[in-house]
Structures are given as C-alpha cells and as structure tokens.
Amino acid sequence: MNHLNLWEQLIYYFQHNGLYVLSQFNRHFLISIYGVLFAAIVGIPIGIFIARYRRLSDWVIGVANVIQTIPSLAMLSVLMLGLGLGVNTVIVTVFLYALLPIIKNTYTGMLNVNPDVLDAGKGMGMTRLQTLRYIEVPLSLSVIMAGIRNALVLAIGITAIGSFVGAGGLGDIIIRGTNATNGGAIILAGALPTALMAIISDGVLGWFQKRFDSASQHAANR
C-alpha cells in the first residue's frame, strides 16, 4: 500500500476495514450520546432550579466552568483511578464537560421568558408547576437545544481521546495511525468520520433548534 498516494491509501483502508470503521463509528457516537443524555437529565433540572433561585446561579455555573478548564486527558486520568479503564470513564468525562452548556443555556432560556406571558399564565390560575410545564419550558426549548447541540459536538471530540483509556471509538483508529509507519491514511480514516459525525450532529440538532424556536415564537405571539 506504500506505493499509493494518500487518498488511494485511504480508499484502500476503507475497502478492507469498512466494517471495523463502522463499528467504531457507532461505538463513538453512542458514548457521546450517553454522556450528553445523562448531562441533559441532570443539567436541565439544575438550570431550571438556579433560574428559580438566582443567588445560586453564580456558584453552580462557576463550578461547571471550573470543570471545563480541566484538560480532558487529565480528567480521564483522574476518573480512571476510580472507574478503571473502559467506556464508563469516558461517559462520565463527557457528562461532566457537557454540563456547562446545558445548565447555562437552560438558565438563560428560563430567564428570557417574557414576564407578561408568565403573568398571563398566573392570571389564568396556573400553578407554579403548570407555568413551568406549559409556558417556561416550551418557550425555552430552542435555547436549551442550543446547549445540547454545543454539548454533543464537544462530546464527540472528547470521546476521540477516550481511546487512551481503552474505550474504543474512532480515536482508536487515529491512535493506530500515529503508531504506524506512513499512517496518514489511517489517521484520516478515523479523523474524517469524526468530523463528519460532528457536522451531521450539529446540523440535525440545529434543525430541531430552529423548529423549537419557531414554535416558541408562535406560542409567544398568540
């Protein structure tokens, strides 16, 4: 394969290792999704809570900011001491890094709900829980989705580093390429699907964000 140019080598690699690349692509995507899903389950309620009790917002967002400043390899290494090698360590790492955009966007979305709409809901006799369910969360969905969108793109990049702790994924192919002689094509075989995954995920969630934004504007103008 050494006599072929880089792109010919890449095509040759995909022809002979396509199923392996596909399996690592699926593994990579699922790790990213699980981490962001758990972050959404935890982060959205936290964002709603600190929007209710704003004196806690600086402290909570500050903690999430501190987590973001920790290098991902260092985070993986620390978590590996407690969780060991494998997928769980990477999922927890993705979870921690995904918290900030989800919490911050949920908090911002809740604060940006028009007070007049809230007053109208209260005037109709809605309870606090009903106001949250039928007014605040629906009107904040586009902003919350933007946070999830940012978190997923971030997660895809972090998951690639997870191969250093034996989690697999497309990062595993990239590492094999760095360890191989003339491994540029192998590196591309891992890097290009990773970039494609990030672009597609961003586009799909961006479409959902626009739909939620249109629905929110329609609901606010009724």
Predicted confidence (pLDDT) per residue in 23-56, tens digit: 999 999 999 999 999 999 999 999 999 999 999 9
Domain architecture of the chain: domains with CATH: 27-216 (1.10.3720.10)
The answer to whether the Cα torsion of 162, 163, 169, 175 is positive or negative is positive
Taking CA 28 as the corner, what is the angle to CA 194 and CA 63, rounded to the nearest 5 degrees?
95
Predicted pLDDT of residue 221: 56
Query: How far apart (Å, rounded) are the C-alpha atoms in residues 192 and 211?
Result: 29
Model pTM score: 0.89
Predicted pLDDT of residue 128: 84
Taking CA 187 as the corner, what is the angle to CA 196 and CA 200, rounded to the nearest 5 degrees?
5
Q: What is the pLDDT of residues 126-185, one digit of tens each?
A: 888 888 888 888 889 999 999 999 999 999 999 999 888 888 899 999 998 888 777 788
